[in-house]
């Protein structure tokens, strides 16, 4: 499996610092895992959100890289639970960081498969041809209200409570992590973003940008579009395209 990864993180137009964090790793020898993508959106104020997202991303990247070709969703879940422990212990050791936390969406690329571990309202999408599919479920108040049919998806996009997350990494000693396994086809593109991006850009616009050949240009264009629409939050996106060569 050949993997191309590009990403951008931007402070946006209204925040004083960037509490988002992104990282990726791609195998140099073509082995499994072939790549790891991580995006996090920190919260907590007084620099604590930035600390939470940095700690979580570093720990998850290290742990996920060490998983072998037979990795299962439970293995990725354990890696994210370990990062939760690290962030939570840091918050206990430093009272000024009490309550800090972060969203986290992690993609582990194995042979013909993407394993996804997810907490919060950052998202992972799969773009295949003319279709886009959201792979993660938002852990947020408005998402719950949409599921209960108290809000429409259109109302949720502008609801003042849309930034209220119901699940985040680091806030408590225990964490419930959603996982999903998705089969991949050659040419598939995975898009991972924080809500500062997908909160301003609809799915069809995401698909159109993610489908272009130049992923670096696509990532920059998506961030610029979010800035043009006001950029009220930090903006982060990672794009990864997979192609399959002859079987070894």
- Digit-coded pLDDT (tens) for 140-182: 777 777 777 777 777 777 767 777 788 999 999 999 999 999 9
User: pLDDT-based confidence at 248, cuts 50/70/90?
Assistant: very low
In angstroms, the CA 136 to CA 51 distance is 24
Higher-confidence residue of 61 and 152: namely 61
Residue 6 has pLDDT above 80, yes or no: yes
Phi then psi dihedrals of residue 144, to 5 deg: -65, -40
User: pLDDT-based confidence at 113, cuts 50/70/90?
Assistant: very high
Region 71-86: mean pLDDT is 97
- Digit-coded pLDDT (tens) for 11-22: 999 999 999 999
Place of tokens 């809000």: 151
Q: Pick the range with the lowest mean pLDDT from 45-59, 123-137, 189-203, 216-230.
A: 45-59
- Digit-coded pLDDT (tens) for 83-112: 999 999 999 999 889 889 999 999 999 989
- What's the pTM value of the predicted model, to 2 decimals? 0.93
Nearest to 194 by CA among 117, 131, 138: 138
- Bin 204: left if φ > 0, else alpha if -120 < ψ < 50, else beta: alpha
Q: Where are the domains of the chain?
A: 2-243
Please provide the CATH number assigned to the domain covering 2-243: 3.60.40.10
């Amino acid at each position: 499996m050949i993997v191309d990864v590009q990403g951008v993180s931007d402070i946006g137009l209204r925040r004083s610092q960037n509490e988002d964090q992104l990282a990726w790793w791609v195998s140099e020898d073509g082995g499994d895992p072939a790549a790891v993508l991580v995006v996090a959106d920190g919260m907590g104020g007084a620099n604590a959100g930035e600390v939470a997202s940095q700690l979580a991303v570093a720990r998850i990247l290290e742990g996920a890289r060490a998983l072998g070709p037979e990795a299962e969703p439970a293995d990725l879940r354990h890696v994210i639970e370990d990062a939760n422990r690290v962030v939570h212990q840091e918050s206990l050791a430093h009272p000024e960081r009490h309550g800090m936390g972060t969203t986290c969406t992690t993609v582990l690329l194995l042979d013909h498969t993407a394993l996804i571990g997810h907490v919060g309202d950052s998202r992972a999408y799969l773009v295949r041809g003319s279709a886009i599919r959201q792979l993660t479920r938002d852990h947020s108040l408005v998402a719950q209200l949409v599921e209960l049919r108290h809000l429409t998806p259109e109302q949720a996009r502008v609801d003042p409570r849309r930034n209220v997350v119901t699940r985040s990494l680091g806030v408590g000693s225990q964490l419930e992590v959603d996982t999903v396994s998705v089969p991949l086809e050659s040419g598939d593109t995975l898009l991972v973003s924080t809500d500062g991006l997908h909160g301003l850009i609809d799915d069809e616009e995401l698909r159109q940008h993610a489908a272009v050949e130049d992923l670096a240009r696509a990532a920059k264009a998506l961030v610029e579009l979010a800035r043009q629409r006001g950029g009220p939050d930090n903006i982060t996106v990672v794009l990864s395209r997979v192609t399959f060569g002859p079987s070894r």
